[in-house]
Amino acid sequence: MRSSEGGSPSSGVSRSAVVVGAGIGGLTAAVALRRIGWHVTVLERATAIATVGAGLSLWPNAVRVLALLDLDEAVASHAVSAVIRANMRNPNGRWVRHAHPCDVKVLVVHRADLHQVLRGALPQEALRTDATVVAVTEKDGEKDGAQDRVTVTYESQGARQEVTADLVVAADGIDSAIRRQLWPDHPVARFQRRTIWRGVTEPDGVWPITESLTLGRGAQFGLLPLTDHRVYWFLVVNADQPGQGYGDEHAEVRRRVDGWHDPIPVLVEATRPDRVLHNDNFDLDPLPTFVHGRTVLLGDAAHAMTPDLGQGGCQAIEDAVVLADALLTNRDLSGALASYDQQRRTRAQAVAAAARQSNARNCNDSAVAYAMTNLVAQLTPQGLWRKLTAEWSTWTPPTALRTGASRRRT
């Protein structure tokens, strides 16, 4: 592919990108790319952006990115500061570990609220819904004297349409259609022998809620406060195979936590059945590259991971700002994408591997493993505990994005 200049505010060249997928990663990428002066179109296959989902933990690494994009205050207004994996109990209610003032705090936000903040940072015309991508096609400018471009073909309202740009950002999730097209030999997502229920409720008479993680054998139940007296809970259990449905998912969760300490049964009971989400835990084996020509993978499309470390959404947010920074600081587009690829594969694949290892440990439901987990949680010194639980949150985003965007606005 021929080298081409662009991405720098000083170049005077207007560049364009198509972001496929209006999830957290895709929208953050759109915001970051617009911040460096790119024209961005976001294609989302859903016919409407619905306020669905459950809670999401934003660790300090993701919060730093939001601050870089001047979105931290808006997100914080919808979030609750909490300590993750510091208050730990057994199903009978016995405390295994209590939070310490030195524990790392995270922002807990409803996914729909974060989504709303990100959408609000984009012009309405930048987002096209009911747009199902069917193909990505590279155009070699050396053959016809035009600039190298990439065309996205999508279906909307029964008709096929096209949009052409300098770059495609594939943020279309773990089952990415673009990854299947451009990386056809890569294995599909791998089931990691765990399944998870999530819910959000507004309980009466049990507020305030202290964030906690309850450890059962082969099961974990988490409680996290949200704004407006809402509570986000999740139940993770071992599963032999994916796709196991229970008809009444709400009733299944109630059955599994029957007899567990308060307020777990009360919170589950108070949750509307239509707010109980059930998903299996899948992740991706490491890809050899996140870049194919002028197409880059981002978020779950590139490095889907199990939720054990709470870093899935955080890593997608990191991807977005590193991509924008690479495009800002490299005049050569291929060099920018190579920089993004090197930085993000090194970082995100290491986090995904650590999450997979944590998932494997949590799957061990033997009595000995359960006893050892409790003992480690009780006896680990505070400094080491902080390091172990917050190891991946110390990352800081590149600073050129703020400098370049500020220079562009003046």
The pLDDT value given to residue 8: 42
The dihedral sign for the CA sequence 314, 101, 54, 264? positive
In this predicted structure, the answer to whether residue 145 has a pLDDT above a threshold of 60 is no
303 band by pLDDT with thresholds 50, 70 and 90:
very high
Domain architecture of the chain: domains with CATH: 9-84+104-189+284-362+396-409 (3.50.50.60)
Res. 17: pLDDT tops 50: yes
Distance from C-alpha of 14 to C-alpha of 139, rounded to nearest angstrom: 18
Question: What is the pLDDT averaged over residues 323-339?
Answer: 96
The arithmetic mean of pLDDT across residues 352-374, rounded, is 95
Q: How far apart are CA 171 and CA 93, in angstroms?
A: 41
* pLDDT score of 51: 63
Distance CA 151, CA 171 (A): 16
pLDDT of residue 52 exceeding 80, the answer is: no
Q: Is the pLDDT of residue 11 over 80?
A: no
pLDDT score for 331 = 84
Q: What is the pLDDT of residue 103?
A: 87
Percent of the chain scoring above 70 in pLDDT: 92
User: How many other CB atoms are found less than 10 A from the CB of residue 105?
Assistant: 18
Cβ-contact 315, 351 below 8 angstroms: yes
